[in-house]
A and B are shown apart, each in its own frame.
Chain A
Amino acid sequence: MSHLDLLTFARGSALNWALIVFAAGIVLRLFEILGLGRKADLARPRTDSPGSGWRTIFSRTLPPPGMLKREPVTYFGGYVFHFGLFIAIFFFAPHIEFFRGMTGLHWSSLPSALVDASVVAAIVALGALLAHRLNNKVKRMLSGLGDYIAWTATMLPLLTGYMAYHHLFVEYTLMLTLHLFSVELLLVLLPFTKLFHTFSLFISRWYNGDFFGRKGVAS
């Protein structure tokens, strides 16, 4: 099988299957969570605060007072990594073309140099977060195989994407293929690992905000 054949496979059947597993996995996991339901809270809320759950979805992105100083690596590393990854996925011109091909939707891209810098920042941040995970007593204790698999599955698309863009180490077609395979691995793993927080955190933050909001406390 030539590199081109492999690329065709990666862009065709492999991608389709990965997307099917991704979509089905997301639906299944959402059903597993929301299907459990919750009992209605019969305690009279302090104030009617229908927006507290929604507000917390956004407000929890910011560190509570004092926390940034306590855990700068986790916060800064987290922000840089997530932001860099977001830019790379959604604002790199070839990616937008890819989304246009799939959904018909498109939007403006950012300059490649800026996206490139974001990817480098995300890779460095991810590296720092791994080092912190290995060195911090709490994080090390909490970490299992799943955490390292999730880290690897997130790092690979960034690395392969960077190497493909810069034509490093391996022939371009093969590197692009590897990039696609790494993305497909990420898609398949996402619903079944902690990477699912990409979706579930909106639910968990909402519940938290709703709970505190009913008591008149902004969380």
Chain B
Amino acid sequence: MSATLEKGLNAFKEVIDAPIASYFSSCVHCGLCAEACLFHNETGDPKYTPIHKLEPLRRVWKQEYTLLGKLGKMLGLTKPVTDAELTEWEPLVYDSCSMCGRCSMVCPVGNDITYMIRKMREGMAASGHAPEDLVGATTRAVTIGSPMGIKWPAVMAQIKHVQAETHIEVPVDKEGADYLVLMSSMEIINFPEYLSALSRIFKQAGVSWTLAQDAFEATNSGIQIGASDLAREIVGRIVVAAERLKVKCVISPECGHAFTAIRWEGPNLMGKPFGFEVKHILEVLDELHTAGRIKTRGKDKRPLTYHDPCQISRRGGVVEQPRRLLGAIAEDFREMPDAGVMNWCCGGGGGVSANSRAEPLRLEAFKVKKRQIETTDVHTLVTACANCRIVMEEGLEHYHMKVDVIGLTELLVDYLVEGE
């Protein structure tokens, strides 16, 4: 057995806990999870059945943590997990799973398959079976500070641009601010309007906020690739900055997995509860709007729909907030079929969009989103995740669909009452 395989198998053993043991014990091989998976749904290939993606982890559980499995292993009756098998499974675990969590909602015995995929990736990464692109992104996140290689000067350039455009100062490293604002690489590079919108909204609401030079990046490749030690290092930067600046709340940007990383995994990675709150930007905007601290005037007349990013709605519980906000600014808001916690993934979550090898499959899986959008008959799609946004823009272009994709924060600012 190679040293890396041994490391991977040890990681498998380490991540198996009571929930995972109960999930594998309960599976009756009904295959219903396949019906919930966009990759199976759009290709019809049974290998994309979610529970099947966990087969190596299941065998390690059986051989190591059940009496019968141990006996079978002793007698040489069980099939050991090999490097070749993990190589075969790598595309199933990374390319064809966006960790969207839809399967976890439909499993009749309650298996949280997404939880297991997240855990399984720890062993895959440790055994050297993670996609090259994700390895690169994680390395950049750890060494440079951002998976896309963005450094603080790039953020500064955007800050200057925003300040020139809005005539509002963007606070940096302001101790005692209420909120620490994080961004995703995608927003820094592709969607600078996010920071501009925030500046205007926060000025109007009288919110005390700041950016941190050493913790501007919210995304966390560590949780996508399945390397908790690296994920901890990346989250740790935010925690250190939030504690140093004594903020009351950290705002996760319009990015799905970043929210999971800091809000739900963060305290567990750090091994301590946070002394500050973590909120998604939509939660903050909804609170400000409900409290009357931001007001809107007029409504968008375009028919539009909202795409629920999986990590924000299904895996994050932010479902009503975008609908309340859209209710205030959209005249003709139309729900997609399966909207809310059962929404279909854009296909690019969980590191899939960062994995160039997965692109053809991702575009194939996008067909379900295409149908959802077509049902609503709109040409404007609103969302709250920069990754979903870029993935959907690519998908829409691929299928020659004329649909604009916009972030909810920037849409809100178009109707913001300012200076009153």
Instruction: Give chain A's interface residues, CB within 8 Å of chain B.
Output: 28-29, 32-39, 41-44, 46, 56-57, 60-61, 63-67, 70-71, 74, 78, 136-143, 147, 192, 194, 196-197, 200-201, 203-209, 211-212, 215-219
Q: Is B111 an interface residue (CB 8 A)?
A: yes
| B32 near A74: Cβ-Cβ < 8 Å | yes
| A203 near B316: Cβ-Cβ < 8 Å | no
Instruction: Give chain B's interface residues, CB within 8 Å of chain A.
Output: 16-23, 25-32, 34-36, 40, 44, 46-47, 49, 51-52, 65-68, 104-112, 115, 263-268, 270-274, 277, 313-317, 319, 338, 341-342
A39 to B105 CA separation, bound complex (whole angstroms): 22
| A33 near B22: Cβ-Cβ < 8 Å | yes
5 A-B residue contacts at CB 8 Å? A36-B16, A36-B65, A142-B52, A203-B22, A207-B19
A35 to B27 CA separation, bound complex (whole angstroms): 19
| A60 near B52: Cβ-Cβ < 8 Å | no
| B109 near A201: Cβ-Cβ < 8 Å | yes
Q: Which residue of B lies closest to A69 (CB)?
A: B35
SS class of chain B's interface: helix, strand, loop or mixed?
helix
| B35 near A42: Cβ-Cβ < 8 Å | no
B360 to chain A, nearest CB (A): 21
| B115 near A211: Cβ-Cβ < 8 Å | yes
Given contacts A209-B110, A217-B317, contact A39 B29 (CB under 8 A): no
A204 to B338 CA separation, bound complex (whole angstroms): 25
A201 to B24 CA separation, bound complex (whole angstroms): 10
Q: Which residue of B lies closest to A31 (CB)?
A: B67
- Which residue from B105, B272, B277 sits with its C-beta under 8 Å from A219? B105
A137 to B20 CA separation, bound complex (whole angstroms): 25
Residues in chain B near residue A218, CB distance under 8 A: 341
Given contacts A38-B17, A219-B104, contact A142 B112 (CB under 8 A): no
Q: Which residue of B lies closest to A34 (CB)?
A: B18
B144 to chain A, nearest CB (A): 27
| A142 near B31: Cβ-Cβ < 8 Å | yes
- Which residue from A138, A142, A194, A204 sits with its C-beta under 8 Å from B111? A204
| A32 near B106: Cβ-Cβ < 8 Å | no
